[in-house]
Amino acid sequence: MNQIGHVASVKNIGKNLIVRIASNANYKNGEGAWVERTHWNEHMIFERQAGLLKWASENLKPGDLVHVRSTAFQSEWEKDGETRYGQTFAVNELTLLTAKSDKKEKQEETAKSRGGRRR
């Protein structure tokens, strides 16, 4: 799976790291109106990917724009005595496209060059 989106959260789960990413998709509904839908996906960086895990935990922040390439696999766990199933995305590659702070700085620079201020 390839996904370009914004980091929603970065959290440690045991010795692994989950990066939650939000991306938008637009489509026309049955009435012909455009609708925007946000897709939320959790991508797992495993302990064995020590270099990537360390980099992501130290550098990724909510709002950063990233590109992630992951492989989907089924996960299984027990909750309240019941077996539950889900889908997990194991990260193969993760690239920071624009840090949230970089985006803010670029907006401020653009506003200054136009003689205005960022709203």
Q: Which domains does the chain have, with CATH numbers?
A: 2-113 (2.40.50.140)
pLDDT at residue number 104 = 58
Three-point CA angle 16, 25, 58, nearest 5° = 25
Higher pLDDT, 77 or 119: 77
Within 10 angstroms of residue 94's Cβ, the number of other Cβ atoms is 19
Tokens of 84: 């539950």
Asked if the model's pLDDT at residue 65 lies above 90, the reply is yes
pTM as predicted: 0.76
Element (H, E) at 59: helix 50-59
What type of residue sits at position 12? N
